[in-house]
Structure 1
Amino acid sequence: MTDKNKLGIQYMQEGNLEEAAKVFTEALEENPNDPIGNVNFGNLLAAVGETDKALAFFKRAIEIDEQLATAYYGVGTIYFEMEEFTNSTHYFSMAIEKGLDNSDVYFMLGLTYMQQELFKHALPYLQRAVELNVIDYEAKFQYGLCLAQLELIDECIKQFEDLVEMQVDNADVYFNLGVAYAHKENADKALEMFNKALEIQPDHLLAGNGKRLLEQE
């Protein structure tokens, strides 16, 4: 990676997108066939919402170097934002096949399967994302939801209880715990969780409905 690419990434991390654009442009003018430079510019365009242009740069990077895993990941993220989940599934899978091995790519592939309600397909990828980043709240949350969809209730409860221990103060975590405990016919625990969800978010309609149903029994 050239110094200009490194500098551009630094500017992006600092939120200085104008300087990043200037430096990435210079890098590409000097070497238009640099696949990394094309990915970096694609990431910048994606960050400012220029999804069609970003897609073109990511695909250009793949044309130059079909082994570049991050380019496939970039395409996958664009298709995910466009809700073209079949395409995003393909490109995230290709990113893994080409050697990308971090929690983000497994999480995004799992999430893509979740959007298609292919829960059995989603499960191993979300599990891997959690294994690679045990403090990733969103991955653990989606993994818990996936387990619930597959009626693996004990494992589901463990994921949401982990989030409670991580002090994730989110009404949806407690609501889903309430549903899981209700599924196990533990009405007292379920009611406690629904009440906790409503403490955090008083207008949480699903938790309110769950509480009313339990209180009517």
Structure 2
Amino acid sequence: MKKTAEGEAEWRAALAIDPQSTIALDSLSQHLVDKKDYSSVIALLDEPGAESNWTEVQSLNLGMAYAGRAQLDKAASVLREGLNDHQDSLPIADELAVVLMLLGNNEEAYSIFDLALSKHPGDQPTQILYLHSMVTSKSDRAHNYCNKLLAAYPDQWEVLYLAGLLESRKAEYEQARAHLEHSVSLNSGYYQSQQELGNVLFELGNLLAAKRHLEKAIALGDNQQEVEYELAKVLQRLGDTAQAQEKLRIYQQLRKARLDATQGAGKAEMGDQAIAAGNPSEAVSLFREALEINPNEPLLYYKLSQALDKTKDFAGEKIALQKAIQLNPNLVEAQNQMGYLADRTGDLTQAEDYFRVAVRVSPSYVVAWINLAATLASEEKWQDAKQALRHAIEIDPNNGQARRLEQALNDAHSGP
């Protein structure tokens, strides 16, 4: 598949001729997923009221887009439907199982893995992903399944790492050391195996080697609180009290940040539920509580703005949107909504500026193109308005709002 701007233009041109072009929809949605432009994937493939006649690639990409937007229930629904339509699809099965694990539906995830492997019994990536899921969820089945994979793939670094992790949990440190050293010798760039080997070596009393592997894990990008704590223990045993205290300080900072993030996410989830239940005032309170914990999270400010809009606190909504944009200028939904608010108050120049930022950041964001076209028409910039509208129709030829605006523009101004 092409992944260039020229390729995207070709796919959109193809969709303008045939909105149901399988090749164009597959290619464009894959391109947008690769760019992490998840909103545009959803707009492209999941138009309200349209039939969900997705190909395997489209089902996978749409599921990944919803997961990327943290809409896990919707992702699971799309992927279940996709797997029902494409029953032999390993990519959809794997993605669905991962989403189900994130939702805490472990047994359903296991059943998806079992079904996939009954049809593709020798697929190593799916087998390893299954083992990862078992180990992460501390399933009783993990040990036996790991032994099975060790027998089948004795030199697969990831299987060796997971075997060492399971053995370490059971305090079988010598066996864990052997498997982890073998794993690291095959792939030294995986910080999780470096950290676990450091932990095991500490338990075996090999402090200098433990220090070396824990420091290697941090150098490779391990920013979890646990590695700092384990390294502090090693340094304390080695008599380096000053460095041990420094590592404990970092550990405490990371631990507080993780607790704050967890508490903030919980408040935000409750806010989402309040919005869904039709209680925007309660949602406002919950999102504000979440922001007290995580004051630098732009998506929380955007969610707060949505709740404030529903309570008709437009001044508060504007403040929340401005803060969201300050923290993340590429949050296109916030840019678009600021444009809408400016347009509503008659500040067409500012509205145009916001909409132009939105479409620059996300060229496939059809809502912003339509809003930009409407604002340009209000400014009597007829040619620019028609050009913006053409972009919207190229993206979504069946968009009713775009077609109605097209007719209104033609009626109001018949020029080019």
Q: Does the alignment reach a TM-score above 0.5?
A: yes
- Residue 109 of structure 1 is matched in structure 2 by 96
In structure 2, relative to structure 1, the CA distance for the partners of 1:54 and 1:111 (3 Å cut) is: same
- Residue 259 of structure 2 is matched in structure 1 by none
In structure 2, relative to structure 1, the CA distance for the partners of 1:110 and 1:205 (3 Å cut) is: same
* Aligned-residue RMSD, C-alpha: 2.9
In structure 2, relative to structure 1, the CA distance for the partners of 1:116 and 1:98 (3 Å cut) is: same
Q: Secondary structure at the match of 2:46?
A: helix
How far apart, in 2, do the equivalents of 1:87 and 1:105 lie?
A: 14
Contact 1:88 1:112 in 2 (8 A): yes
For residues 1-217 of structure 1, the aligned pairs below 5 Å read 12=1, 15-32=2-19, 34=20, 36=22, 37-60=24-47, 63-70=49-56, 71-131=58-118, 132=120, 134-137=122-125, 139-148=126-135, 149-152=138-141, 153-162=143-152, 164-165=153-154, 167-170=155-158, 173-182=159-168, 186-199=172-185, 200-201=187-188, 204-215=194-205
How far apart, in 2, do the equivalents of 1:195 and 1:189 lie?
A: 10
Is there any run of 5+ residues in structure 2 with no aligned partner, and where?
207-416
How far has the Cα of 1:112 moved from its partner? 0.9
Contact 2:14 2:21 in 1 (8 A): no
Q: Secondary structure at the match of 2:140?
A: coil
Runs of 4+ in 1 over 6 A off after TM superposition: none
How far has the Cα of 1:184 moved from its partner? 6.2
How far apart, in 2, do the equivalents of 1:84 and 1:133 lie?
A: 31
Q: Secondary structure at the match of 1:174?
A: helix
Q: Secondary structure at the match of 1:29?
A: helix
Which has the larger Rg? 2
How far apart, in 2, do the equivalents of 1:102 and 1:53 lie?
A: 24
Q: Deviation digits for residues 9-63 of structure 1, max 9, x if unmatched?
A: xxx1xx453343233122111123x163444432222223322111111113x85
Is there any run of 5+ residues in structure 1 with no aligned partner, and where?
1-11
Q: Secondary structure at the match of 2:70?
A: coil
How much identity, in percent, do the aligned residues show? 12
Contact 2:157 2:184 in 1 (8 A): no
One-letter code aligned to 1:150: S
How far apart, in 2, do the equivalents of 1:160 and 1:87 lie?
A: 36
One-letter code aligned to 1:189: Q
How far apart, in 1, do the equivalents of 2:90 and 2:53 lie?
A: 20
- Residue 254 of structure 2 is matched in structure 1 by none
How far apart, in 2, do the equivalents of 1:16 and 1:146 lie?
A: 32
How far has the Cα of 1:212 moved from its partner? 2.3
What is the aligned residue count? 196
Q: Secondary structure at the match of 1:101?
A: coil
One-letter code aligned to 1:59: D
After TM superposition, the score normalised by the length of structure 2 is: 0.41
After TM superposition, the score normalised by the length of structure 1 is: 0.74
In structure 2, relative to structure 1, the CA distance for the partners of 1:135 and 1:38 (3 Å cut) is: closer
How far apart, in 1, do the equivalents of 2:105 and 2:196 lie?
A: 24
